[in-house]
Structure 1
Amino acid sequence: MEVITAVVAWGLSAVCQNTVTSQWLAPICPRNITTELASRLSSSAQIYSPGSAGFAEATSRWSSFETPDINIVAVPSVEDDVAQIVKYASQNNIPYIAVSGGHGAITTESRLKHGIEIWMHQLNTIEIGEDSARIGGGALSKAVTHALWDAGKQTVTGGCECTSLLGPGLGGGHGLLQGRHGLVSDQFISMNIVLASGEIRTIDETSDLWWAIQGAGHNFGIVTSVTVRVYEIQHPDWAYEAFTFTSDKVEQLYENLNVHLLNNGSPPVNIVNYGFLMNVPEMDPKPFHDLGPTTTDTGSGIYLDVPRWVGWDNDAAPCQHNGLANTRFPIDIQAYNVPAMRKVYDLFADVTQKTPELNGSFFLFEGYSLEGVKAVPGESTAYAFRDDNILVAPVVSWVPAGQDIAQKATKFGNDLRQILYEGTGRSELHAYVNYAFGDETPANWYGFSFYAPIA
């Protein structure tokens, strides 16, 4: 039997390599996806299989929780490569997902099984003109901001250096310059996009897709390049002042933020407030109780220094792919409900102290200036929450170790968000799609397929 089996296996292998293999043998002939796909792509495109260093780098993510199941990574080097990958995947009924910075942590991405990852990082060109710039679909924020800065220009990007321009931008995209110019998506002039058919189209404000792309754009196609508005640098110099407060100052802190910075939804265009709640087990709170609010750090520099000041730079935690599970539970709010902030603080402190596995979690509060955002009519784009003033997100972080801790972490994040939601008094939760956990409803975020699907 062993001899017969060997002969049959050899014969099957030989027959399967024949390009005129009979149709009846197709179901038992293994397919070489790498070879088939490579034959369609440009000479500089790459394909990585599991076990290779390139595959490991391409599939590493900021969050290891509920990730997509990738069989092969295709790395386009020109825009047409993306079209060819999509055509091949569609013809062979293989799911696919485009990845740039690897920060998509929404749990719906885990619905992709045995799929192709289209790793966009070679599509990173930046061509700068007088009033606009054409940026590749895989270009990361640091590369964009630095290239523009060298040319005396700026545009609105997400704050984190290691995310792409388009990843946040297709969901609206908050950034430090939004008070002057609007959201990242408000800067779009035109883009090249690969549709599900594999067709490459150039779209702009005359296209039926344009409204949806600006805020709900993650899954109407794969954007291979975008042309955005750029501006002369008018305010190169920035400064920061950081404070540390302890639990007895919760009420006073958020009352002051409401009055002095939110200013009834019209915060100063030149000021951004950014805050954290976090557990620091080694810190003795007594001296801070005695001192009250304490200035812990100050500094000044240029716009390019801001990511380092607030922990958004490439060396900071948000840019590390270190195997942690990181989940966010976002909610947009109008103002801080002070009793809710006390309640959420107490719950956060209690859980992170009693459950050491979760004490790396933190609470993110982003209070960007809003003048440029609110200057754009709400009905003109798919981004839905222009009237909201603060982006809040519990970030629950843990070392993956089975379902028990995952369930505790998910309950923790949802409980924190529920307190804030009840404090808004609203009937509908507003959740920033780029931070979404994945259990929100279609009314809360936009898109379909594997990123924030409609169904």
Structure 2
Amino acid sequence: MLGLCRLWAFIWFLLDWELLACGISPYYRNDPAADLRARLSREAQIFLPGSEGYENATQRWSRLATPAFAIVVAPRTERDIQETVRYAKEKDSTFLAIGGRHGVANALNNAQNAIGIWTRAMRTITVHEPLVNGTGTATVEPGVEAGELTSTLFAQGKVGASTACDCVGVMGAMLGGGHGFLQGRYGLTADNLVSARVVTADGGRVVTASASENADLFWALRGAGHNFGVVASVEYRVFDRTPATDAWAYEEYIFSHDQLERVYELANGMIGGPVELTHYGHFERRTSVDAEHCCLSGSFGKGRKSPSRYTEPLRALGLLLPPKAAVVDITQLNGVAGADFSSPFCGHGADITLAPVGLRRWNVTALRKAFDIYSALPLRLQGSAALLEGYATEAVQRVPEADTAVPDRFNNLLASPVMIAAPRDDERGEDGYESDVPDELYEYAERFRTALVEGSGGKLHAYVNYASGDEGLEAIYGYDQWRLEKLRRLKQTWDPKGRMDFYNPIL
């Protein structure tokens, strides 16, 4: 009998070893995801609540938009994504792709007991050589972050349109448009999408979307792409580095609050200027330079040399500190804007909301009203800031309005408060928050935005990648009736069951 027991133990050991070799836990009998695990590649992982991998995958920039996951899958291949989506359909479970985890859309809170598809392990970037006349393509996987894309391309002698925050997921930004420093020359990130491999939400089919294949889906992916499927990879347009894109001269200024009107009158004079000309401003508190008032910070960038016609009038204004001037390459430019990997914008776990508005020009009277709202923030919200982004738009506005789902190419500027509160542990209620903090954040954010919209005399246009979802479909996806009807029709075609309704849903 003892020999038989030893033989059985040896067989059991071999079975466990074989399961481990296949990437399957030997304790699969107690594994709630065992049947899914057996369908995935060896390199794919599944994280259960309480594990370090689960915590890493589900940590979000803002706690106000927090989906809840039963399990998280970290795929390594397109097939892994496909099998996960199929599994979710079989189990009648919701699922959600997880990228940079920055979105503040309220609808994310509707994903409960969902299957998370955390794409971070899929971050290969492959440049296809040779480029023809300085233009070619790269294949980009869905887990790549913006700073990684920029630095990887730069090291290979290439550049590409990307976003102005290093830690934002490239895929999520691209699907909503993707503003950034090179858009004046090359267009939005979405404008440089050549084709996409999409695992469809309606049942895990894999399709290619391009100008010649599934062209309607390709149209929708560029501007409203969070609604139709999980993008497993994209072919994306890249360009040879040139002296114009290699180096960026910038100047950084800290202005006194009473210079607001003059600063933004000068900023209006930059709209429609040279193709790389960018101004990027903040409202913020800097008690080290002004203990009583909020101040304005601003940076300005242009190619290899800063034109004196723009710098000299700014330098002549009342500055709280001497201007900082330098020349950096494109990999460092997000740091100039305060959004590199080491910045607070790449942190996690605070209570944050945005309230975006697209504008044609700065209305200085409206900006003053918004600044006064910002200056009056209560103490616990004074870590908040306001983004005032003025990227060049020449190539963006060359793309016909009807060619993509991006709805507001006519706007030159993007503004949004970044309302932040981090409640103290001893003030949190049973739900983990101070009871009135979220309401207060939303209230001040909306007051700030309303001031700018009223000052523009027009309708609200809310950038989908910054939107919280309370803006309304027209504000996010466009006021043209044909545009909304087309999106609804495509939603019924590609996701009739509404399985991807957790990021500013169309329906």
TM-score normalised by the chain length of structure 2: 0.79
Structure 2 residue 209 is matched with structure 1 residue 203: yes
Structure 2 residue 103 is matched with structure 1 residue 104: yes
| Aligned twin of 1:192 | 197
Once the two structures are TM-superposed, the CA of residue 36 in structure 1 deviates from its matched residue by: 1.8
| Aligned twin of 1:341 | 367
| Aligned twin of 2:227 | 219
| Aligned twin of 1:7 | none
| Aligned twin of 1:81 | 80
SS at match of 1:98: strand
Structure 1 residues 322-359: Cα deviation after superposition (integer angstroms, max 9, x where no partner): x20111000000111111111111111012xxx11100
Identity of aligned residues (%): 36
| Aligned twin of 2:143 | 138
Name the CA shift for 1:431/1:286 in 2 (closer, same or farther; >3 Å): closer
Structure 1 residues 206-246: Cα deviation after superposition (integer angstroms, max 9, x where no partner): 22211111111112111000001111111211121111112
| Aligned twin of 1:119 | 118
SS at match of 2:33: helix
Structure 2 residue 376 is matched with structure 1 residue 366: no
**8 Å contact from structure 2 (residues 164, 337) kept in 1:** no
SS at match of 1:392: strand
| Aligned twin of 1:17 | none
Structure 2 residue 474 is matched with structure 1 residue 443: yes
Name the CA shift for 1:51/1:249 in 2 (closer, same or farther; >3 Å): same
Structure 2 residue 440 is matched with structure 1 residue 408: yes
Structure 2 residue 422 is matched with structure 1 residue 391: no
Counterpart CA distance in 2 for 1:272 and 1:165 is 21
Counterpart CA distance in 2 for 1:414 and 1:43 is 48
Once the two structures are TM-superposed, the CA of residue 312 in structure 1 deviates from its matched residue by: 1.6
| Aligned twin of 1:257 | 267
- The one of 414, 419, 423 equivalent to 2:451 is 419
Letter of the 2:362 partner, please give it.
Y
Letter of the 2:82 partner, please give it.
A
Name the CA shift for 1:397/1:231 in 2 (closer, same or farther; >3 Å): same
SS at match of 1:121: helix
Structure 1 residues 290-330: Cα deviation after superposition (integer angstroms, max 9, x where no partner): 98135442211212111222212111111112x20111000
Name the CA shift for 1:153/1:331 in 2 (closer, same or farther; >3 Å): same
Unaligned runs of 5+ in 2: 1-28, 297-315, 424-432, 478-486, 488-499
Once the two structures are TM-superposed, the CA of residue 64 in structure 1 deviates from its matched residue by: 1.1
SS at match of 2:475: coil
Structure 1 residues 265-292: Cα deviation after superposition (integer angstroms, max 9, x where no partner): x232121110000123454368999981
Letter of the 1:307 partner, please give it.
N
Moved over 2 A (4+): 30-33, 279-291, 293-296, 400-403
**8 Å contact from structure 1 (residues 279, 359) kept in 2:** yes
Letter of the 2:463 partner, please give it.
Y
Letter of the 2:87 partner, please give it.
Y
Structure 2 residue 45 is matched with structure 1 residue 55: no
Name the CA shift for 1:280/1:286 in 2 (closer, same or farther; >3 Å): closer
Name the CA shift for 1:291/1:213 in 2 (closer, same or farther; >3 Å): closer
For 1:280-359, list aligned pairs within 5 A: 280-284=286-290, 292-294=318-320, 295-321=322-348, 323-351=349-377, 355-359=378-382
Letter of the 1:276 partner, please give it.
H
Letter of the 2:405 partner, please give it.
A
Letter of the 2:116 partner, please give it.
E
**8 Å contact from structure 2 (residues 352, 441) kept in 1:** no
Letter of the 1:224 partner, please give it.
A
Letter of the 1:292 partner, please give it.
G
Counterpart CA distance in 2 for 1:344 and 1:172 is 26
Counterpart CA distance in 2 for 1:128 and 1:66 is 35
Structure 2 residue 257 is matched with structure 1 residue 247: yes
Structure 2 residue 20 is matched with structure 1 residue 33: no
Once the two structures are TM-superposed, the CA of residue 150 in structure 1 deviates from its matched residue by: 1.6
SS at match of 2:376: helix
Between Structure 1 and Structure 2, how many residues are aligned? 417
SS at match of 1:374: helix
**8 Å contact from structure 2 (residues 381, 421) kept in 1:** yes
Letter of the 2:247 partner, please give it.
D
Letter of the 2:193 partner, please give it.
F
Once the two structures are TM-superposed, the CA of residue 32 in structure 1 deviates from its matched residue by: 4.7
- The one of 161, 166, 173 equivalent to 2:178 is 173
Once the two structures are TM-superposed, the CA of residue 40 in structure 1 deviates from its matched residue by: 1.2
Structure 1 residues 360-387: Cα deviation after superposition (integer angstroms, max 9, x where no partner): 1000011000111011111111101110
Structure 1 residues 108-127: Cα deviation after superposition (integer angstroms, max 9, x where no partner): 11011111110001111111
Counterpart CA distance in 2 for 1:405 and 1:283 is 28
**8 Å contact from structure 2 (residues 181, 276) kept in 1:** no
SS at match of 1:215: helix
| Aligned twin of 1:433 | 464
Letter of the 1:194 partner, please give it.
V
Counterpart CA distance in 1 for 2:199 and 2:72 is 18
SS at match of 2:383: coil
Letter of the 2:283 partner, please give it.
L
SS at match of 1:132: strand
Counterpart CA distance in 2 for 1:394 and 1:286 is 20
